[in-house]
Amino acid sequence: MLLNEVRHLVALRGGRLHLLTGRTGDGGTAPFGPGSLHRLVPDITERNVYVCAPPAMTRTVLAGLRDLWVPARQVHAEKFGLA
């Protein structure tokens, strides 16, 4: 889905869209780790979380969500690979 379409869908539902970019490897900040996710969305355990990212990033975000005890029923992930 194109970014403008996602923005439109989020706006229709009164939601908030957070676009995160960064590296999943060692070093630097950890934009997808539990601490960063919790700072961005303090009530994350009460939210539905939709993740669409390359496999390594998806794994990192899902691990962070598990560490934060976000209920599995509230986590929705779509993995994709770059051609």
pLDDT at 60: 87
Question: How sure is the predictor about 74, in pLDDT bands with cuts at 50, 70 and 90?
Answer: very high
What percent of the chain clears pLDDT 90, i.e. is strictly above it?
Answer: 43
Tell whether 3 is covered by a domain: no
Tell whether 17 is covered by a domain: no
Domain count, the chain: 1
d(CA 54, CA 81): 5
d(CA 62, CA 77): 8
Q: Share the mean pLDDT of the chain.
A: 84
Residue 21 has pLDDT above 80, yes or no: no
Residue 26 has pLDDT above 60, yes or no: no
| Burial readout 10-43 (b: 16 or more C-beta within 10 A, e: otherwise) | eeeeeeeeeeeeeebeeeeebbbbbebbbeebee
pLDDT greater at residue 69 or residue 15: 69
Tell whether 47 is covered by a domain: yes
d(CA 76, CA 34): 17
Segments forming the whole domain that contains residue 60: 22-79
